Amino acid sequence: MITVAEMKTAAETKITAEQFAIFGGVPLFSEPLHVGQPVLSDREQLLADFDAVMQSGQLTNHGPKVREFESTVACMTSVRHCIATCNATIALQIAARAMGLTGEVIMPAFTFIATAHAMEWIGLTPVFADVDPATHTLDADSAEACITSRTSAILPVHLWGHVCRPEQFASMCKRHGLRLLFDSSHAFGCQSNGVSTGAFGDAEVFSFHATKFIHAFEGGAIMTNDDQLAERCRRLRAFGISGLTEVSDVGTNGKMHELSAAAGLRSIKSMPAILTANTDNRRAYADICDTVSGLSLTPVPRGNFSNNQYLVFTLDEHRFGLSRDQLVSILRAEGVFARSYFAPGCHRSEPYRSDSTGRHVPVPLPVSEQLLNSVLQLPTGMAVSVGQIRQIGRLIASLHRTCHQIQRLWSLCDGRVKYHHADAAAPRNLTPPVPAFREAG
C-alpha cells in the first residue's frame, strides 16, 4: 500500500510524460478514487436497523419503515405526497402512466439514458431537445420548438442538481396544454429561490440509488401535491390493486422494501456531514481551476442551493493541450476514476440513433454535442479528502505543463496505453485498447 506521503511525492515528481501511469509509471493512487462512491456511515447502527426490520417480520408491502421514509421525505421537501419505489426508472414510468401520457415526451438529449429508456419502455416516444450551455439543463426555447400535436408532456432534468427554471416550463405547459414531470434524480436536497425540489410541476421523481447524495442502496420516489395523481401512483406501484381482491389499474411491482427504506432513513441522518464534505471538496476543486488553464468548474446557477454531489468540469482542449477523452484516460490510469458523462448522448444511443424518421431529434443539438465532448466529472464525496483533491490538482497541473510530451508519446504508442489494475472499464483483449466508459445514473 502506498502511503499518503509517497503519493504526494509521486505527484510532485511526475515532471515528464514517461512518469505518468498511462505510459508505464507508478499510479498516483493504488486504491482508486471514484465518482459517486456510496456513503455508508454509522454501519453498526445501520446493521441494527436491518436487524430490527428482520425481527419485525415485515420485509415489504409498504411496511412501517417505508411509511416513515415517505413521511420524512415529504416533510423535508414540503410536498404532500411521497410515493417510494424500488428505483427512479420505475418511478418515472409509474408517474407517466398515472398522468395518462401518450405520444411524445420532450426531454434533454444530454441526460442519463434511463430518462429516455423509461419513456420508450412504456410505449412513449422520447423527443430530444438541446440544453442551456450554462446550467446543462433543458433549454426552454429548444423544448418549445419540439412541441407537436403528438406531445403530451415535457420532462426536464435537474441535471447535476441544477434546478431547471420551473416557472418557465410551467408557463409553457399551461400554454400548450401539456403535463410537466421533472426528473430530479440528481437534485434531492436542492432548492430554487428557496423552494425545495419535489414541489415543482405535476410531479417530480427522486433517485435514491447508491451513488446519489442520499441513497437507499436502490430506490426512488414520486413527489406530488396532486391528491388524485398520488393515489393512482400508489395503486400502480402495487400491481394496480385497490383492495383485498379488486384490481383497478394495469400496475407493476414498483415497491420499495423495508431494508432500502431503513438505509434511506439512516442516509438522511448523515445529510449534514455529506453536504459539508461535498461543499469543502467543491472549494478545493475550484482552487485547482483557478490555476489550471482550460479546466473550469460548472457554476451553481444563481438562486439555486446545490447538494454539490456532482462536481462537473468542462475542458477546453485547445487551452489545456489534451482532449477530454485523453485526460479521462490518463487520470483513470493514475487511479483518479474520472467519468465522461453522458457520452455518447441519448440521441446517439440505441434505439434512437437508428431511427430514420427524425421523430426523436427534430431540432439541432449544438450545445449537447459540445458538452458530450468536453464534460467530465472528478471524484468527490465523503470518500475523497481535500488533501487527495489537492494531489489531483498537482497531477492535473503537471499534465497541462507536459501536454506536448504527452501528445508525442500518445502518438508513438499508437493508443497502446496502460490501465489501472482496478479499472473495470479497461478493455480486455483488444489491440489497440479502446477506452470503454459507461455511465451510472
| 279/106 Cα distance (integer angstroms) | 33
Coil/strand/helix, residue 27: coil
| 286/189 Cα distance (integer angstroms) | 22
Strand partners, 207: 220
**Which residue, among 249, 199, 210, 255, has the nearest Cα to 81 in the 3D structure?**
199
Q: Mark whether 186 and 323 lie in a shared domain.
A: no
Domain assignment of residue 149, yes or no:
yes
151-154 and 179-183 strand pairing: parallel
**C-alpha cell read off for 157:** 432534468
What CA–CA distances, in Å, run from 401 to 109, 246, 249, 295?
35, 69, 62, 13
Domain assignment of residue 192, yes or no:
yes
Domain assignment of residue 345, yes or no:
no
Domain with 308, as residue range(s), is 4-31+271-338+378-413
| Residue that terminates a domain, selected from 223, 252, 269 | 269
| 195/245 Cα distance (integer angstroms) | 41
Q: Mark whether 8 and 63 lie in a shared domain.
A: no
The radius of gyration of the chain from alpha carbons, rounded to an integer in Å, stands at 23
| Chain length of the chain | 441
Q: Mark whether 334 and 219 lie in a shared domain.
A: no
Q: What single-letter amino acid sits at 364?
A: P
Is 202 within 8 Å of 100 (Cβ atoms)? Answer: no
| 32/27 Cα distance (integer angstroms) | 9
The pLDDT value recorded for residue 317 is 97
Half-sphere exposure of 246 (CA within 13 A, CB side): 4
The pLDDT value recorded for residue 15 is 83
Half-sphere exposure of 280 (CA within 13 A, CB side): 16
Q: Is 145 exposed, middle or buried (0-12, 13-18, 19+ CB in 10 A)?
A: middle
| Residue that terminates a domain, selected from 269, 296, 323 | 269
Domain assignment of residue 80, yes or no:
yes
Is 202 within 8 Å of 181 (Cβ atoms)? Answer: yes
Residue 76 is part of a domain; what is its CATH number?
Answer: 3.40.640.10
Q: Which residues of the chain have pLDDT under 70?
A: 1-13, 415, 427-441
The pLDDT value recorded for residue 141 is 98
Domain assignment of residue 373, yes or no:
no
Residue 395 is part of a domain; what is its CATH number?
Answer: 3.90.1150.10
| Residue that terminates a domain, selected from 250, 269, 288 | 269
Which residues, 6+ apart, have CB-to-CB distance to 405 below 8 Å? 16, 17
Would you give the distance in Å from CA 219 to the centre of its chain?
Answer: 14
| 321/232 Cα distance (integer angstroms) | 54
Q: Mark whether 283 and 254 lie in a shared domain.
A: no
Q: Please tell me the total count of domains within the chain.
A: 2
Is 236 within 8 Å of 249 (Cβ atoms)? Answer: yes
The span from the first CA to the last CA of the chain, in angstroms, equals: 31
Domain assignment of residue 349, yes or no:
no
pLDDT digits (tens, 9 = 90+) for 378-401: 999 999 999 999 999 999 999 999
Alpha helices in 78-139 (DSSP H): 88-99, 113-121
Which residues, 6+ apart, have CB-to-CB distance to 8 below 8 Å? 391
Q: Mark whether 159 and 12 lie in a shared domain.
A: no
Phi, psi (deg, nearest 5) at residue 146: -90, -10
The pLDDT value recorded for residue 414 is 75
Would you give the distance in Å from CA 36 to the centre of its chain?
Answer: 9
What CA–CA distances, in Å, run from 397 to 14, 193, 220, 329, 335?
10, 36, 39, 16, 16
Strand partners, 107: 128
**pTM for the whole thing?**
0.92
**Which residue, among 75, 288, 83, has the nearest Cα to 203 in the 3D structure?**
83
Coil/strand/helix, residue 73: helix
Phi, psi (deg, nearest 5) at residue 361: -130, 80
The pLDDT value recorded for residue 13 is 64
Cis previous bond, 32, omega within 30: no
Coil/strand/helix, residue 305: strand
The pLDDT value recorded for residue 424 is 84
Q: Mark whether 174 and 192 lie in a shared domain.
A: yes
Q: Mark whether 119 and 9 lie in a shared domain.
A: no
What CA–CA distances, in Å, run from 52 to 46, 73, 102, 259, 260?
10, 21, 43, 10, 13
What CA–CA distances, in Å, run from 407 to 17, 302, 326, 330?
9, 38, 9, 12
Q: Mark whether 391 and 264 lie in a shared domain.
A: no
Q: Mark whether 194 and 232 lie in a shared domain.
A: yes
The pLDDT value recorded for residue 357 is 82
What CA–CA distances, in Å, run from 152 to 40, 106, 188, 222, 439?
40, 9, 26, 19, 29
**Which residue, among 173, 179, 174, has the nearest Cα to 101 in the 3D structure?**
179
Domain assignment of residue 433, yes or no:
no
The pLDDT value recorded for residue 441 is 56
| 310/381 Cα distance (integer angstroms) | 9
Q: Mark whether 130 and 228 lie in a shared domain.
A: yes
Which residues, 6+ apart, have CB-to-CB distance to 228 below 8 Å? none
Q: Mark whether 201 and 239 lie in a shared domain.
A: yes
User: What is the pLDDT of the chain when averaged over all its residues?
Assistant: 92
| 45/199 Cα distance (integer angstroms) | 31
Domain assignment of residue 138, yes or no:
yes
Q: Mark whether 15 and 47 lie in a shared domain.
A: no
